[in-house]
Amino acid sequence: MPTLRYAGRDLAVQQGESVLDCLLRHDIAISHSCKAGACQSCLVKGSEGPVSEVSQRGLKDTLRAQGYFLACSHRPNADITVSPVGTEARTQAQITGRSLLNESVLRVRLRPEAPFSYFAGQFVSLFREDGLARSYSLASLPNDQEIELHVRRVMGGAMSEWLHQHAITSTSVWLQGPSGNCFYVPGNTEEPLVLVGAGTGLAPLYGIVKDALLQGHTGPIWLFHGALNPTGLYLTSELRELAEAHSNFHYIRSVLRDADPGEFEVGPLEQCLLAKIPKFAGWKGYVCGDPALVNSIRKKLFLAGMASKSIYADSFVPSAPSASCNSPSTPITP
């Protein structure tokens, strides 16, 4: 009889029983609805043990790659460890480096004190010692020694101002996650990829581009990075070098104003995107950054033929006002 390990409990699975039914039989509350693999409300994450193909049917490839499956559709015939979504432990990390990438974007390097696995392009919740937390995207690669974040300074912003002005090398923070589905999934090396972001929307895209190239992606990869003016762009030399080294990688800098049209694409990012690539049928897209821009680009990609399941997006939605530094927060305990 297989064992289902859930939240530290070992549960015996009956012959032919689904993970969901086993949890419910043991009075464990878990969200569910259709029990037929359609509504996806019983999504859980498997960390050890095989997961059936049918229980991952209809899930995005990025969810499948992380071991997510539908509890109603998996009937274990081997031991399995399962956790609910969004209950990752926090890992302590030390700030090991801070340097400006342009006048408002800070590169923050962190060294976690325990192994921290992630896919390039996912995001983490960064917790300060007093419990203040914000999400930041991962610009580094999983095998890099340090985690890299790009933090834009928001005037009056509790976390970003603190990181820019007060945090120092050796300051301790905590990381929770990773989360998000914006990352490269190997297996379809010839698929054309387009990545679009403005400002620090580049952070996850930078990680995804490096990862795709490292994993031998041979299809075209187009990166569009937008900013108001040229000073808002960053990592331009690194990206140009990458484009010189890989003939399938194309790096487009798009600015709204104050630029020489010979050197930059001048005009709205969406316009620049569609001028370069009018049709996106068969493409995969990654869009990150400002929520309004992300929504607009998603629509444009869809209308230009990209399947909605092929669009991966992270909107950098600001935290609710109650999440400010003056609000009562839970101090972190390691």
Ligand X SMILES: Cc1cc2nc3c(=O)[nH]c(=O)nc-3n(C[C@H](O)[C@H](O)[C@H](O)COP(=O)(O)OP(=O)(O)OC[C@H]3O[C@@H](n4cnc5c(N)ncnc54)[C@H](O)[C@@H]3O)c2cc1C
Q: Which residues contact ligand X (rule: CB under 6 A)?
A: 123, 134-137, 150-152, 154, 156-161, 200, 203, 314, 316-319, 324
Structure-block tokens of residue 281: 């049928």
- Sequential DSSP letters for 259-277: S-TTTSEES-HHHHHHHH-
Exposure class string for 72-100: b at 16+ Cβ within 10 A, else e = bbbbbeeebebbbeeebebbebebeebee
Torsion sign (Cα): 226, 252, 108, 185 = positive
Nearer to ligand X by Cβ, of 175 and 203: the residue is 203
Q: Whose Cβ is closer to ligand X: residue 97's or residue 318's?
A: 318
Minimum CB distance to ligand X smaller for 18 or for 135: 135
Which residues, 6 or more positions from 103, have their beta carbon under 8 angstroms from its beta carbon? 231
How far from 126 is each of 101, 136, 181, 199, 307, CA to CA, in Å? Answer: 20, 7, 18, 19, 33
Write out the H or E segment, with its range, that includes residue 211: helix 202-214
The distance of closest approach from Cβ of residue 90 to ligand X in the complex, given in angstroms and rounded to an integer, is 16
Closest to ligand X by CB, 82 vs 288, is 288
Smallest distance, Å, CB 227 to ligand X?
13
State which residue, 123 or 283, has the beta carbon closest to ligand X: 123
Instruction: Report in angstroms how near the CB of residue 318 gets to ligand X at its nearest.
Output: 4
Nearest distance, CB of residue 170 and ligand X, angstroms = 21
What span, in angstroms and rounded, lies between the C-alpha atoms of 121 and 323? 24
Pick 69 or 316: Cβ nearer ligand X: 316
How far apart are CB 288 and ligand X at their closest, in Å? Answer: 8
Taking the complex as a whole, the smallest distance from the CB of residue 179 to ligand X amounts, in Å, to 7
What is the spatial distance between Cα 131 and Cα 153, in angstroms, rounded to a whole number? 20
Compute the least distance from the CB of residue 157 to ligand X, in Å: 2
- Closer by beta carbon to ligand X, 8 or else 156: 156
Phi, psi at 90, each rounded to 5°: -95, 140
Smallest gap from residue 202 Cβ to ligand X (A): 9
Distance in Å, CB of 171 to ligand X, minimum:
16
Rounded Cα distance, 100 and 231, in Å: 12
Indicate the residue among 49 and 177 with the shorter CB distance to ligand X. 177
- Chain residue whose CB lies nearest ligand X: 157
| Of residues 19 and 101, the one with the C-beta less far from ligand X | 101
**Would the CA dihedral through 189, 249, 309, 126 be positive or negative?**
positive
CB count in 10 Å sphere of residue 310: 19
What is the token pair recorded at 87? 């209950």
Pair 93, 171: CB distance under 8 Å: no
From CA 68, how far away is CA 82, in angstroms rounded?
9
205 with 287: CB under 8 angstroms?
no
